[in-house]
Amino acid sequence: MNEAQAVTSLAALAHPQRLQIFRLLVREGPGGLAAGEIAEAVGATPTAASFHLKELDRSGLLHATRDGRFIRYAIHVEGMRQLLTFLTEDCCKGRPELCGSAYKKTRSLCVGKGSSK
- Same-domain status, 37 and 48: yes
> pLDDT class for 3, splitting at 50, 70, 90?
very high
- Residue 116: inside a domain, yes or no? no
Element (DSSP H or E) covering residue 71: strand 70-75
> Which amino acid is it at 27?
R
The Cα 20–Cα 25 span in angstroms is 9
Strand partners, 65: 72
- Residue 115: inside a domain, yes or no? no
CATH of the domain at 38: 1.10.10.10
What tens digit of pLDDT does each residue of 20-54 get? 999 999 999 999 999 999 999 999 999 999 999 99
